[in-house]
């Protein structure tokens, strides 16, 4: 999985790694989660790396609305009042 972010890449990688470990422990499925900034992704395109070629060929784009995501996480945790 590749996540392209405009926020702190390192914090996003930490969060994704924690989720990937949870998924592995619960299901036995390993998720390789990578995070890149928009600039890093553009560099991959310019250098036409094998990783980028795989992304271009096989990717599915999912756009995330951060506010909707935050609301759903808070509601799932039972803390709707803190929004």
Joined tokens for residue 70: 């935050």
64-70 average pLDDT score = 60
Residue 72 has pLDDT above 50, yes or no: no
Residue 31 has pLDDT above 50, yes or no: yes
Q: Are 19 and 76 in contact (CB under 8 A)?
A: no
Residue 48 has pLDDT above 60, yes or no: yes
This prediction's pTM: 0.64
């Amino acid at each position: 999985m590749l996540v392209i972010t405009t926020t702190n890449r390192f914090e996003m990688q930490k969060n994704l790694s924690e989720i990937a470990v949870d998924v592995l422990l619960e299901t036995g499925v390993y998720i390789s989660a990578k995070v890149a900034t928009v600039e890093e992704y553009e560099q991959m395109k310019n250098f036409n790396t094998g990783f980028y070629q795989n992304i271009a060929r096989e990717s599915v784009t999912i756009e995330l609305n951060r506010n909707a995501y935050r609301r759903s996480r808070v509601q799932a945790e039972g803390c709707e009042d803190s929004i």
